[in-house]
Amino acid sequence: MADLLADIWDNILRYFQKYHSESWRSWFEQLEPISLENGLLRIGALERSWKQYLKQPECNDSLKVAVQNVTGRLVGIEVVLSDQEEESSGEPSHSGDSEASDSPVDGDESSFLYFSPDYTFDNFVVGPCNRLSHAACVAVSDSPGETYNPLFIHGDVGLGKTHLLQAASQSILNNNKDMRVMYLSCETFVNHFIRAVEEGDLYDFRYKYRHVDMLVIDDIQFLTDRDRSQEEFFHTFNTLYQSRKQIILSADCSPSEIPNLEERLISRFSQGLVTRIDKPCMETRMAILYKKSQLRGMNVPDDIINYIAKRVENNTRELEGALTKIYGMAMLDGGEITLDLAREAFGDEPTQIRHQITITQIIDAVTQHFNVRLGDLQSKRRSRSIAFPRQVCMYIARDLTSHSLEEIGGYFGGRDHTTVLHAYRNIDKLCDHDPTIRNMVDGLVTGLTLND
Ligand code: ADP
Ligand code: MG
């Protein structure tokens, strides 16, 4: 019977690895099938974060499909913690909720972020682009509240901020299960606050956020334009700071670049250590690809690692996406990862388009559309008829080229990178709210990418 279960489980794993390779991780091999009875498959996981990972919809749905295909039946899945962990009273106290099962904080599963088993210090590659941010996170998790407080990490999207924040949180919890660590996105904080105000629950809200040992908030730029949440956060911050509790924050820009952030918050955020993560260099990109392929149990030849690292320069998430795509293609195609396959995978990767479109092409398209001249865009003029097309150019240039914000700003009359960031956000917001503008921008982008 045990052998039968082991066989079934092995087939499930192979099916999963082949058809859902994007979610496959090498530690799946260490999961343990416990029983298959009454339409329920019980699986034992060694780590709490594995269990959380398996329960996330992206993975859970794929697991169900694999189980159904192998057994030919609809089977429910239950993941439990193997070993003594299950009985252990010292549950990691995310947010200090001592009754926490594996569900986050207060049962509001959807709004809380899980820790990903991928996001640990062990799985983080240190390079010149992120050395300081990494070292600061390690220091903070070794002695919370005593080194850099607050620690503020900023950088473009996809460069590893969430990874580092989660790594620091998980490391602290691993060292001391009784630490009350609260890790969440700023959006969740704001939503909780709004709900607490509506429901007259501010007392509980404040108690919860102000009685933690470490507060880690991701994407704090979400406080932009939210006056009451800013006010609330200011007091949360002060209470924790005064009791020497560690605070870690991340954002897509430095504190002073967050639009419409109260001065007193800017100064609070800047009073500890502010560090930036930059784009990874070629060597770091290659090391990240090695690390990611290990994590996914893939054997990727050096020339392919090299090829991917050359093709994707800006964003680590895209680097990983390319690797996963190539691996997925290989799994469905006999399992061998070849350079030809990698080339084919890039055939329709947006990164390829990005490298080919130049700022001049973007300007040509925009000036033609708005009937303005390049000289106008580069001038100091700020009338809407000029400023708007200029912002559209900056927006498209940021999305379609690999120029830095500084370079783009420099091109448009020596403007600095905050102007470009502001332009980007402005057009992004307009696109969200005004379909005419969305269509106009989409039309320009399509024209550029098709002509390419
Ligand atoms: P951000 O929060 O800055 O947008 P993430 O932390 O979500 O970025 O990172 C995007 C992806 O890139 C994640 O899968 C993360 O593991 C990976 N990543 C980024 N930097 C590194 C690094 N230095 N080493 C390993 N993985 C990295
Ligand atoms: Mg993030």
Whether 232 and 288 share a structural domain:
no
CB of 296 within 6 A of ligand 1: the answer is no
Question: Does ligand 1 lie within 6 Å of residue 305's CB atom?
Answer: no
- Name, of 93-97, 152-156, 175-179, 224-228, the range with top average pLDDT: 152-156
263 and 163, same structural domain? yes
Within 13 A of 39's CA, how many CA atoms are on the CB side?
Answer: 4
Q: If you average pLDDT over every residue of the chain, what do you get?
A: 87
Residue 96 shares a structural domain with residue 145: no
Assign 452 a pLDDT band (cuts: 50, 70, 90).
low
**pLDDT reported for residue 97:** 34
In this structure, are 259 and 324 located in the same domain? Answer: no
Regarding whether 291 and 207 lie in a shared domain, the answer is no
Last residue of a domain, one of 241, 276, 311: 276
d(CA 381, CA 393): 15
Q: Which atom of ligand 1 is nearest to the CA of 287?
A: 24
Q: Is residue 284 very low, low, confident or very high in pLDDT (cuts 50, 70, 90)?
A: very high
Q: Residue 61 pLDDT > 70, yes or no? A: yes
CATH at 312: 1.10.8.60
Sheet holding 93-94, edge to edge: 93-94, 180-185, 214-218, 246-251, 151-155, 273-277
Task: Report which protein residue has its CA nearest ligand 1's atom 11.
Answer: 317
State mean pLDDT over 434-448. 88
The total of structural domains in the chain comes to 4
Over range 289-313, report the average pLDDT: 90
Q: Which atom, in ligand 1's list, is nearest to the CA of 163?
A: 6
- The CA 131 to ligand 2 mean position distance, Å, reads 18
Instruction: Tell me: do 326 and 356 sit in the same domain.
Output: no
Q: Return the amino acid letter for 36.
A: L
- pLDDT single digits (tens) 78-117: 999 987 544 443 334 454 333 333 444 444 433 345 799 9
Residues 228 and 163 in one domain: yes
Residue 446: give the domain boundaries: 352-451
Ligand 1 neighbour 300 (Cβ under 6 A): no
pLDDT digits (tens, 9 = 90+) for 254-281: 999 999 999 999 999 999 999 999 999 9
Reported pTM: 0.73
**Same-domain check for residues 70 and 177:** no
Q: What span, in angstroms and rounded, lies between the C-alpha atoms of 254 and 267?
A: 11
Considering the domain architecture, whether residues 269 and 295 belong to the same structural domain is answered as: no
Q: Is the CB of 318 under 6 A from ligand 1?
A: no
Q: Are residues 272 and 135 in the same domain?
A: yes
Q: What is the side-by-side strand order in the sheet with 32-37? A: 32-37, 40-45, 76-81
Q: Are residues 13 and 97 in the same domain?
A: yes
* Residues with C-beta atoms within 5 A of ion ligand 2: 161-162
Domain boundary among 256, 276, 296: 276
pLDDT value at position 339?
Answer: 84
Whether 159 is in the pocket of ligand 1, judged by its Cβ within 6 Å, is: yes
**The pLDDT of residue 235:** 96
CATH number reported for the structural domain that contains residue 28 in this entry? 3.30.300.180
Where a domain ends, among 330, 346, 362? Answer: 346
| Any atom of ligand 1 within 6 Å of the Cβ of 291 | yes
Confidence class for position 1, pLDDT limits 50, 70, 90 = low
What confidence category does residue 449 fall into, taking pLDDT thresholds of 50, 70 and 90? confident
Give the residue among 191, 19, 207, 201 at the shortest CA–CA distance from 108.
191
Q: Which CATH number do you get for residue 382?
A: 1.10.1750.10
Peptide bond into 150 cis (omega under 30): yes
Q: Tell me the CA–centroid distance for residue 119 and ligand 1, in Å.
A: 8
